[in-house]
Amino acid sequence: MKARLLRHFKPKDPVVASIVAITDQYSLGDRPDGSAFEALARSIASQQLSGVVARKILERLVALHDGAFPTPAQLIAATPESLRAVGFSFAKIAALKDLAAHVIDGRLPPDEVLRQLDDEAIIERCVAVRGIGRWTVQMLLMFHFGRPDVMPVDDYGVRNGFRLAYGLKGMPRPKALHAYGERWKPYRSAACWYMWRAVDLHQQGLLPRRTGRAPRIEIEPPRPAPPKKAKAKAKRAKPARRKAAKAK
> Which of 3-15 are b and which e, b meaning 16 or more Cβ less than 10 Å from the residue's Cβ?
eebeebbeeebeb
222 pLDDT higher than 90: no
Per-residue pLDDT tens digits for 28-46: 776 777 899 999 999 999 9
Query: Does the annotation count 155 as an active-site position?
Result: yes
For residue 234, what pLDDT is reported?
53
List the catalytic residue out of 13, 98, 111, 155. Answer: 155
Give the pLDDT band of residue 210 (cuts 50, 70, 90).
confident
Residue from 72, 122, 70 nearest 97 by CA: 72
For residue 237, what pLDDT is reported?
56
Per-residue pLDDT tens digits for 144-157: 999 999 999 999 99
Structural domain spans, the chain:
2-28+151-204, 36-143
Strand boundaries in the chain, DSSP class E: none
| CATH number for domain 36-143, candidates 1.10.3720.10, 3.40.50.2300, 3.40.640.10, 1.10.340.30 | 1.10.340.30
The residue with greater pLDDT, 97 or 246, is 97
Give the pLDDT band of residue 223 (cuts 50, 70, 90).
confident
What's the average model confidence in pLDDT over 1-7?
Answer: 92
Per-residue pLDDT tens digits for 190-201: 999 999 999 999
Nearest-angstrom CA–CA distance, 169 and 172: 9
What's the CATH class of domain 2-28+151-204? mainly alpha
**127 Cβ contact list (under 8 Å, min separation 6):** 133, 134, 137
For residue 238, what pLDDT is reported?
56
**142 Cβ contact list (under 8 Å, min separation 6):** 28, 150, 152, 189, 192, 193
Per-residue pLDDT tens digits for 88-133: 999 999 999 999 999 999 999 999 999 999 999 999 999 999 999 9
57 pLDDT higher than 60: yes
Give the pLDDT band of residue 165 (cuts 50, 70, 90).
very high
CB-based burial of residue 233 (10 Å sphere; 0-12 exposed, 13-18 middle, 19+ buried)? exposed
Give me the percent of the chain exceeding a pLDDT of 90: 80
How open is the CA angle 100-102-105, to the nearest 5 degrees? 105
